[in-house]
Amino acid sequence: MKIDVLVVGGAGYIGSNIVKLLKKRNYNPIVLDNLSTGDERTLLNATFYKGELADKVLLKQIFKTHNIKTVFHFAALINVGESVKEPSQYYKNNVCDTLFLLDAMREYNIKYFIFSSSAAVYGTPSQVPIKESSICNPINPYGQSKLMIEKILADFDVAYGLKSSCLRYFNAAGGDPEGAIKNYQAYQGNLIPRVLRSLKKLQGSVIVYGNDYPTPDGTCIRDYIHVWDLAEAHIKAMEQLWNQNKSTIYNLGNGQGYSVLEVIKKAEEITGKKLTFTFGNRREGDPVTLIADASLAYKELEWTPKYSDLDSMIAHAWTALEGHDILQYI
């Protein structure tokens, strides 16, 4: 019999890829999503409930109907700039609504939780590459909300025995390597979606924020991780929780960085198109370089990114975008 797992936010960019991989691995994903940024068409016939985490009646219905063993949680607001302007909205959605979910899990004795955290918990890093032991000092409400949930999960482990794996992503990129998930739903504020949408003439020119950083080409450097590699890491984290019954925190990244101009050049090379872009001022709070030390995940999860090259990430993202209707997210 297939094991039931609940994927909250499973119709979104990262969640939909994980739902697909769960099905391939013979698990039974149950999806809860409000479709504010997701698309039901990506779910490939997975069981789907449309609704909000704050809907306690719906949560109880799901937990009564299905024998859920593990919950994956991807539902969150993720716009850093917006979080500064609307912190109340971010704490309500990202923290309070997650508490509704955790309390419902307690009621139905569901003990395993995979949390979509973020490198934003570190803020401006004191050292690079960034280890899990690095100081966490978020510089915006979005990062604060992710760190608050990590701390809540630590308390829930001690008090209630709820075991969790907090996965701190760096920059998710790419798309379904098999091309089955057609709508490229990556957050449109991120660099690769902005570049590809501009090349596709779905939006105007791209602004590169700052060209005077102390890097080889003057632009920021970031660690990108393919969404399919993220999906693989999530399933390994779930299986590790079952086997070891111990809460964990892992960085998920490639351990190498690419500059903004390197990403643009590679996108032009792969698509055969020329990007129109301009240089703007630096954005406040943008660190020069963010690169993960993900060696702990490599070792303990026995996980190795398969699509670590920038070519694959951009090519798969372009395939997911090219030739298909694009919903206007964010």
Q: What is the C-alpha to C-alpha distance for residues 95 and 179, in angstroms, rounded to an integer?
A: 34
Phi, then psi, of 316 in degrees rounded to 5 = -70, -35
In the structure encoding, which two tokens stand for residue 178, read together? 């098999």
Q: Which position among 13, 49, 112, 142 bears the catalytic label?
A: 142
Q: Phi and psi of 228, rounded to 5°?
A: -75, -35
Could you say which residues of the chain have pLDDT below 50?
Answer: 323-330
Reply yes or no on domain 4-173+224-252 having CATH 3.30.420.40.
no
Q: What is the pLDDT of residue 84?
A: 87
How far is CA 281 from its chain centroid? 27
Report the 3 state secondary structure along 34-103: CCCCCCHHHHCCCEEEECCCCCHHHHHHHHHHCCEEEEEECCCCCCHHHHHHCHHHHHHHHHHHHHHHHH
Residue 325 DSSP class:
-
Nearest Cα to Cα of residue 143 among 76, 80, 75: 80
Torsion of CA 251, 223, 175, 234, to 10 degrees: 0
Residue 48 is predicted with a pLDDT of: 96
Phi, psi for residue 106 in degrees, rounded to 5? -60, -45
CATH class of the domain comprising 191-222+255-328: alpha beta
Residues 64, 263: Cα–Cα separation, whole Å: 47
Tell me the pairing of strands 68-73 and 258-259: unpaired
Question: Residue 112's pLDDT is what?
Answer: 99
Peptide bond into 87 cis (omega under 30): no
Q: What is the H or E stretch that residue 4 is in? A: strand 4-8
pLDDT at position 187 is 53
Residue 329: active-site member: no
pLDDT of residue 288: 87
Quote the Cα angle for 40-43-98, to 5°: 75
CB 91 within 8 A of CB 141: yes
Cα separation, 122 vs 86, in Å, equals: 21
* In the chain, where the domains are located: 4-173+224-252, 191-222+255-328
pLDDT tens track for 149-200: 999 999 999 999 999 999 999 999 998 888 777 655 555 668 898 899 889 8
Q: Vertex 21, ends 18 and 24: CA angle to 5°?
A: 155
